Amino acid sequence: MEDAKNAKEQLESLKELQNAAAGRVPALVSGLGDCICLAKVWLEFLQGKVCDEDYIIEEINLAKNGIHKSEMQLLLAKMELKRGETKKAEELLRKLAEYRPDLYSGREAAKILREIS
């Protein structure tokens, strides 16, 4: 929910869990690693740092879960806005607002479109 302080705390919790599971549950460690990568990108974005856009695009392309995919599309749109790529961002936001109006990402996309129009 775009709360950098809590995002950082949650990232640290994920890292601790990954360390604790390292010797006991290898399958969990792999999944946690993916979650940690994604959490790092989100945190970097929230902190105004340069983010790994290619990673987010890969997440979008590989996502099988519609909610996860739409959240990644929203993040990518916000990254585009931050870089001044308004047309690219608007295209992503319109798609989200039209196809996922029932989800947070769709509602947020519609809200951002109203703000930038």
Predicted confidence (pLDDT) per residue in 54-85, tens digit: 989 998 999 888 888 898 899 999 999 999 99
Res 1 pLDDT > 70: no
Q: Which amino acid is at 45?
A: F
CB 75 within 8 A of CB 42: yes
The pLDDT, as a whole number, for residue 15 is 84
Predicted confidence (pLDDT) per residue in 9-23, tens digit: 888 888 887 888 887
The pLDDT, as a whole number, for residue 94 is 97
Using pLDDT thresholds of 50, 70 and 90, give the confidence band for residue 27: confident
Record the pTM: 0.74
Residue 17: count other Cβ atoms within 10 Å of its Cβ.
Answer: 16
CB < 8 Å & 24+ apart, contacts of 91-95: none
Using pLDDT thresholds of 50, 70 and 90, give the confidence band for residue 2: low
Write down the residue that tokens 């989800």 correspond to: 103
Predicted confidence (pLDDT) per residue in 81-117, tens digit: 999 999 999 999 999 999 989 999 999 999 999 999 8
